[in-house]
Amino acid sequence: MGATVAATQQPGRRGAGRPTRAQAEARHAELLDTALTLFLDNGFEPTTIETIAAAVNMTKRTVYARYPDKAALFLAAVRRAIERQIVPPDVLDAMDTGDLEQTLEAVARLRIQQVMTPQGLALQRIINTESYRFPEIFTSNYLTSAKPVVDFVAAVLDRAIAAGALAPTDPDQAARAFMSMAIGGQVRSIVAGLPPTPAQLDERVRFTVGLLLDGLRPRN
C-alpha cells in the first residue's frame, strides 16, 4: 500500500512537512518569474506585493521574510532575468573558429536570438520601461551579460590586429561598435515588435559585420 501511495504522489509537490532545498528554490524561482511578469504587464507602481504573493499562492509574510520591500523584490527578479542571458565562456570560446567574420557573425546571431526569446524580450522591455527609476538595472545588465561578450569580441579583434588582418585600433572601442552596429539595432526592432525573419537576420548580420570589418582592415 505504501508503494501505491508513493506512486500517486506528484513529483515536485511537497507534503505537509518542511520543503526540500530543491522545492524551496523552485518556489523562489516561481516568485521571481511571476513578479517580473507582473511588473512588466502592469508597471512597477500598480504592482503590489499582495498581487504577486496571491499569484504564486504565497502569503505576504513569506515574501516579506525574504524581501523587505517591493523594490528589493523587483531588483531580484530583474537580476534573475539578467543572469539567464549570460553566455557561458565555453560557449563563446566554441564560436571562435579562427575565421574572424564567422566568429563575429555567430556572436551577433546568438545575442540577437537571446532577445527574441520570451525571457530575453521581457528583460529588455523591463529595462526600457523602468531603468529611469532603477538605473542600476541597466548597469547590471551591461556588466553581467553584455560586457563578457564585449571582452570576448575585443580579444578576437586584438588577435586579428596583432596578426595584421586589421589595422591598429582600440579593440575595446571596436568591440563596442560591433555590439551597437550588429546587435543594438536589431534589438530595438525586436522590442518594438518587429523581429527579423531568419533570412533578414542573416542578411543584416552579414552586412553589418562586413561593414565593420571593411572599416577596420588595413589601407594601402
Residue extent(s) of CATH 1.10.10.60 domains in the chain: 20-83
- At 135 the three-state DSSP class reads helix
| pLDDT value at residue 159 | 96
Residue that wins the pLDDT comparison between 36 and 5 = 36
Confidence check: pLDDT of 6 > 80: no
SS3 content of the chain, % helix, strand, coil (to 5): 75, 0, 25
Q: What is the mean pLDDT of residues 13-38?
A: 83
Confidence check: pLDDT of 202 > 80: yes
DSSP code string of 167-204:
-S--HHHHHHHHIIIIIIHHHHHHHTT-PPPHHHHHHH
| Cβ neighbours, 10 Å, residue 166 | 20
Class of domain 20-83: mainly alpha
Q: Residue 199 — very low, low, confident or very high, per pLDDT cuts 50/70/90? A: very high
Residue extent(s) of CATH 1.10.357.10 domains in the chain: 88-216
**Could you report the per-residue pLDDT of 143-197, keeping only the tens digit for each?**
999 999 999 999 999 999 999 999 999 999 999 999 999 999 899 999 999 999 9
Confidence check: pLDDT of 138 > 60: yes
* Exposed e or buried b per residue across 46-74, where buried means at least 16 C-beta atoms within 10 angstroms of its C-beta: ebebeebbeebebeeeebeeebeebeebb
What DSSP state is assigned to residue 162?
A: H
| pLDDT value at residue 16 | 52
**Could you report the per-residue pLDDT of 102-119, keeping only the tens digit for each?**
999 999 999 999 999 999
Class of domain 88-216: mainly alpha
Contact indicator for 204, 186 with CB cutoff of 8 Å: yes
